[in-house]
Amino acid sequence: MNFRDKIEPHSAAEVKVLRIAAAWAFVLLILDQLTKVLVEQNMKFGESIPVIKGFFSLTFVTNKGAAWGMFHGYGMALFAIGLTVTVLAVWFLRKLCDGYAERYIAILTVLSGVIGNSIDRIWRGEVVDFLDCYINKYHWPAFNVADCAICVGIAAYTLSVLVRPVPEDAQENSADEK
């Protein structure tokens, strides 16, 4: 299997990529939940432990909203949205991936983050954040492993879409429609 080539649907190569992507997503999900439990058990709420002075700390905070605290208090709605996104992404996985291995990995990476934060919303009623990046007084909102998975997965998927050539038959269909 060559990662430059398209994967045929229902092929052994597709099964192999799906297994790798699922294993990766599972590792990310476990890492996300484990780090959150470790933070809860070993830090006081609001406590901050500098790791790289002036740049990075572990800071125990929670978030009842989505990214950067948006939609604060809409935890169940966010859970429903996350569940819907997960179901739709799995349902349309082949279409979204278009036969490219990195897209399978990217989408399952995103889903691991969505599921990780959804578990928090159900189990804790809020999402645990603890990775705190800043430059002196300028802080980026704290985040967690699930947030990283979502961002990296979206970036990887976007990069794949931008870099991969559009198939010739798709270009011809587009030209015919004009």
Which candidate in 32, 120, 132, 147 is catalytic? 147
How far CA 117 is from CA of 24, 102, 145, in Å, comes to 17, 23, 9
Distance (Å, whole) CA 131 – CA 59: 6
Six-digit token pair at 143? 């985040």
C-beta neighbour count of 88 within 10 angstroms: 11
* Cα angle: 139, vertex 56, 136; to 5 degrees: 50
- Helices vs. strands in the chain: H and E counts, helices first: 6, 4
Query: Is 147 a residue of the active site?
Result: yes
- Distance from C-alpha of 172 to C-alpha of 67, rounded to nearest angstrom: 40
The verdict on whether 176 is a catalytic residue reads: no
- Among candidate residues 32, 120, 129, 132, the one labeled active-site is 129
CA–CA distance from 17 to each of 22, 96, 112, 114, 127 (Å)? 8, 14, 16, 20, 30
Catalytic residue positions?
A: 129, 147
